[in-house]
A and B are shown apart, each in its own frame.
Chain A
Amino acid sequence: MVDVETEKKTNVKEEETEEAHAYTPGLKVKKSTTVQKLRRLPLLGEVFVNKGDTVKHDDIIAKTEISGDPEIVKIAMIIGLEPEDTPRYMTKQVGEFVEKGEQLAFYKALFGLIKKEVKSPISGTLESLSDVTGQAIVRGAPIPVDVDAYIPGTVINVMPREGAMIETHAAFIQGIFGIGGEVHGEVHVAVSGNDQVLDADMITSEHTGKVLIGGSRVTLDALKKAVELKVSAVVSGGIRHEDLTTFTGEEIGVAITGQEEVGITIIITEGFGNMNMSLRTFDLLKEFEGYSASVNGATQIRAGVLRPEIIIPHHLVEEDESEALSQGMVPGTPIRIIRQPYFGAIGKVHSLPVELQRLESESMVRVVNIELDSGEVVTVPRANVEIIEE
């Protein structure tokens, strides 16, 4: 029962495992699948749609209000009172509405020779007054929050007061990293191939409002021009780190993105540097040129992986690929290598040796042998591949 390590070693007789888990789940690149999006309010509110309704991407489906920003007014300090005396000099009561500049408190002494008043710095409701601190809080007008459908489709479920689930049939492509939030636009391929760099001179005023597809890299000038011409989104295989930093104005520290206000949404499908967009992704986007897409650059890599996405709704009748859950690696599984020295190379699993193997870095790890498209067989750590989901 117990002498485990030795038992473990003696039990392993086969030279190869039949199936192994990939450590990094592959990014989804699907031509035809069912996409569901939960559209939820940050706080409870009102939902305007019913199950079965058909919605457009810009339909407002739910609404709520976030309480307004509070403004602290130091009444006692301004007038020069003891905090506990403040209530006596208030000219507005808790719960009352005040306009900006309207009097909140008034103090008169020495038969009116000394007069002091406190005016409200904002329009809002006098929420509270403390006789410990002599502070009043004026709450600004509530801030409305709308949630739109984001994708056109059918409402398949409603969560009362919270939101709804929208479903559509679409092509679905995940990127590896993105910047900027939800946008819409017509898909337009701006390059001649997946290995071409998207530069500024390839972007024209005809691209306003569109989702531009690049190839191996998008340049800084191209991004600037895209913003100038109000392009909705740019999708590219790679980008230089320095270009992204210059463009966004700050270095990306932690991969939690989506909130940037840079005038455009950017999606990188492969990684940083010059990286040809995977042919499968490129061909799929090309196939749907002219279609309308919903695009979101939001990326979160830690604690709940969220990858940027391109959703292209369509009515083409194809077999639904959504059921094919990613399985483990077996010989023949198509994979992509995601780290040096073969970064970006595509091939298929040749074999999965059981024994730990020594890398050039001298680490002893489990590896996978991969037959590259060129026919060459290379060995890489199992951690450094991702399955290409087909």
Chain B
Amino acid sequence: MASLTKPTEEMQFIIATDVGSTTTKARFFHKKDGEWRFLVAGEAPTTVEAPYEDVTLGVQNAVREVEELTGHKLLAPEGGMIIPFDGEKGVDLYCTTSSAGGGLQMMVAGLIKSMTAESANRAALGAGAIVMDVIARDDGRQSYQKIQRIRSLRPDMILMAGGTDGGASQHVMEIAELIKAAEPKPRLGIAYELPIVYAGNKSLRPQIQDLMSSGFALELVDNIRPVLEQENTEPARRAVHELFMEHVMSHAPGFTKLMKWTEIDIMPTPAGEGMAMQLIANTYNKNVLGVGLGGATTNVYSIVDGRFVRSVSANLGMSYSVTNVMKEAGIENIMRWIPFNLDREEVASRLMNKMIRPTTIPQTLEDLIVEHSVAREALRLGLKHHRTIATRLKGIQIERTISDMFEQAVADSYVEMMNIDICAGTGGLLSHAPRRIQSMLILTDAWLTEGVTRMMQDSVFMMPHLGVVSTVYRDAAWNIFDKDCLVRLGTSIAAAGKGKFGEPVMELTIEMPNGEILEEKMNLGDLKLIPLGPDHEVNVHIKPANQYNVGAGLGEELKTTVQGGVAGLLLDARGRPLYFPDDDAQRKQLLLKWFKAVGLYDEKALEALV
């Protein structure tokens, strides 16, 4: 990595790219009148595959589109960007993220599934990897089954943990011997030495070195669980990142060249996205739940009380993986979001056809509603998966109170919707939703927001770009993020609780910006959208019924200030979990009522479908 050619405060132009599986996306930023703004986007197909086999061609094509659109010369004749900006041409910083070729695919191993293996899993995910499998002593499989699995996996890298420092040793070595015996073969070819990061019991390092020094590129780092009460993922995460650059990226066609072009390390796309989510959390000092809903994968990020966790659901997505959403969620769960009659086989066929032709887009409203239904399920499953990763440390004593005893157990995951202040989304389906309320309601329905939650989304896909920029120039990244990237959708006010259809859920008093006082009475099954622009902030007084909670406790009133957005204020009295009638006709009718209440789609076109 070269050092920056200019101090950040003197920079005027930045170009960032994201080399995706199918498309390379360039985003061009400029500082004008002291303020950083997004200028223009350029896109081109990624050129990682034959016949090109050189990602820099795709990068050049995407950047050339920016050149054509701006007339600003960026590409150096000898390759790469013209750096620095000389008053006429060039940029002061070029950086990139990449998920080409399927991203970073890892296998992780640990001793106990819910302890060291889980910590290793979190570290790998945090480094931007897709975790193909988690091997542990107690994962329920026989040794030969684990060996068969490892032999069939072909990972890019392995992260192995196990034992506290000075703790278990024999069983940790058993796992190491099992990995060694399986002779895992890397995905990227015969001549490639498989990188393995050992982040387990440090007293075993000499034995691990003896065992793994041939056949693997071994890296020893500090223990991920030095003691049971502490999780230390950072050294492992850093090692994964370095090995990713050193081994994996350098084997991908054209990346060695691309690495020379960039001034800062190439980052896996999800790592960049994660940085952007952290930027939101840090700036607002709030708990954030974010998502990158892509074509192939769904990445969920949570920053709760300062703790950042990322999960990746490698096969939940809206194009390549759309049929896997159907498989995992069950087609009934997708169809429950459709308010008109559509044959089950028809829905399945449409999704299969989307999978085999992943770049097509919905032309009809009917098709759009089907895709939005799948999106809700992909997001729901993505969060469900995330909760299995964002867990409290297991294996340590937790102080329990009398009330915990009544609640039977302390919930495994600490990601509870009532504690989430901001939900943020990015990815093609959310960014391209024809009406902003669509992405707001999709996120609300999928994640079942509770209490008062601000909703945001990416304007045009540029969160990964800004994430990587933020690693060297936070202020510029935030400036662009704030002004051009982050669309404030509005605020959702949802009462958590169950009851009978039609009974009172909450009463709200809203002081509108024009001085008008709005009084709203919401009964179970009601949904309402109050227009309130992004520049407005209003005081709200919420009085929930006894069995409902809006953030202050069951039946407790809440006085707060809420922000508007391009969609507005969403008042949600549909219950948690969402109230759905068992009767199919009633379900469709209720869905239709909700869709119409918030102007989700064109009403006439919607009526025509019913």
A interface residues (Cβ-Cβ under 8 A, vs B): 1-2, 4-5, 7-8, 23-24, 42-44, 67, 69-72, 83, 127-128, 130, 132-135, 137, 139, 162, 176-177, 240-242, 251-255, 271-273, 299, 301-305, 338-341, 343, 359-365, 380-381, 383-384, 386
Contacts and interface: CB of A to CB of B under 8 A. Distances in A.
A340 B364 contact: yes
Contact of A72 (B178, B355, B364): B178
A266 B207 CA distance: 50
Interface string B183-207: 1010000100000000000000001
Nearest to A73: B143
A1 B71 contact: yes
Given A340-B364, A360-B363, A2 B30 contact: yes
A343 B147 CA distance: 46
A8 B434 CA distance: 23
B245 interface: no
Contacts of B368: 361-363
A26 to B, nearest CB: 11
A271 B352 contact: yes
A303 B361 CA distance: 20
A304 B49 contact: yes
B79 interface: no
Given A43-B190, A254-B320, A360-B605, A24 B360 contact: yes
A303 B21 contact: yes
B315 A381 contact: no
Contacts of A8: 40, 69
B517 interface: no
B315 A254 contact: yes
B355 A255 contact: yes
Contacts of B353: 271-273, 338-339, 343
B324 A365 contact: no
A3 to B, nearest CB: 9
Contact of A69 (B144, B345, B346): B144
Interface of B: 21, 28, 30, 32, 39-40, 48-49, 69-72, 88, 100-102, 143-144, 147-148, 151, 169-171, 173-174, 177-178, 181-183, 185, 190, 207, 211, 296, 315, 320-321, 323-324, 326-328, 345-346, 348-350, 352-353, 355-368, 432, 434-435, 601-602, 605
Given A241-B352, A242-B348, A362-B434, A383 B361 contact: yes
A338 B360 CA distance: 8
Given A133-B173, A253-B323, A240 B356 contact: no
Given A137-B181, A363-B432, A384-B360, A254 B321 contact: yes
A339 B367 contact: yes
Given A271-B353, A339-B360, A343-B353, A241 B320 contact: no
Contacts of A67: 183
Given A135-B177, A176-B357, A339-B357, A5 B363 contact: no
A19 B451 CA distance: 52
Contacts of B173: 130, 132-133
A340 B102 contact: no
Contact of A176 (B324, B328, B356): B356
B147 A384 contact: no
Interface centre among B182, B352, B359, B434 (most CB of A within 10 A): B352
A363 B296 contact: no
Nearest to A273: B349
Contacts, number: 194
A2 B32 contact: yes
Contacts of B169: 132
A241 B207 contact: no
A70 B147 CA distance: 8
Contacts of B170: 83, 132-134
Contacts of A242: 345, 348
Nearest to B40: A4
6 closest A-B pairs by CB: A253-B324, A362-B434, A70-B181, A241-B348, A272-B352, A361-B368
Contacts of A4: 28, 39-40, 69-70
B358 to A, nearest CB: 6
B434 A361 contact: yes
A271 B363 contact: no
B211 to A, nearest CB: 8
8 contacts: A176-B356, A251-B323, A255-B355, A272-B356, A273-B345, A299-B356, A301-B358, A362-B435
A338 B362 CA distance: 11
B363 A340 contact: yes
A133 B177 contact: yes
B352 A384 contact: no
A67 B71 CA distance: 58
A380 B320 contact: no
Nearest to B211: A130
Nearest to A130: B177
Nearest to A177: B356
Contacts of B367: 339-340, 361
Nearest to B371: A361
A260 to B, nearest CB: 15
Interface centre among B30, B178, B349, B432 (most CB of A within 10 A): B349
A339 B69 contact: no
Given A251-B327, A361-B364, A363-B368, 20 more contacts: A1-B72, A4-B39, A7-B69, A43-B190, A72-B147, A72-B178, A127-B181, A135-B177, A137-B181, A254-B315, A271-B353, A271-B356, A273-B353, A301-B320, A303-B48, A303-B102, A339-B362, A359-B363, A360-B365, A363-B432
B366 A340 contact: yes
Nearest to A241: B348
A57 B266 CA distance: 44
Interface centre among B32, B190, B346 (most CB of A within 10 A): B190
Given A70-B147, A241-B352, A340-B350, A381 B321 contact: no
Contacts of B321: 253-254
Contacts of B72: 1-2
A332 B324 CA distance: 38
A155 B514 CA distance: 81
Contacts of B349: 240-241, 271-273
Contacts of B100: 303
Contacts of A5: 39-40
A315 to B, nearest CB: 27
A44 B191 CA distance: 10
A242 B343 CA distance: 12
A338 B355 CA distance: 12
Nearest to A385: B360
Nearest to A307: B356
Nearest to A67: B183
Contacts of B182: 70
B357 A338 contact: yes
Contacts of A304: 49, 101
A359 B21 CA distance: 27
Nearest to B368: A361
B368 to A, nearest CB: 4
A162 B190 CA distance: 10
A225 to B, nearest CB: 22
Interface centre among B101, B151, B353 (most CB of A within 10 A): B353
A252 B346 CA distance: 16
B362 A361 contact: yes
A254 B356 contact: no
A24 B357 contact: yes
Contacts of A339: 353, 357, 360-363, 367
A115 to B, nearest CB: 25
A303 B170 CA distance: 40
Nearest to B208: A132
A5 B69 CA distance: 8
B177 A1 contact: no
Contact of A252 (B190, B323, B357): B323
Contacts of B30: 2
A386 B324 CA distance: 24
A253 B320 CA distance: 9
Contacts of B605: 360
A85 to B, nearest CB: 13
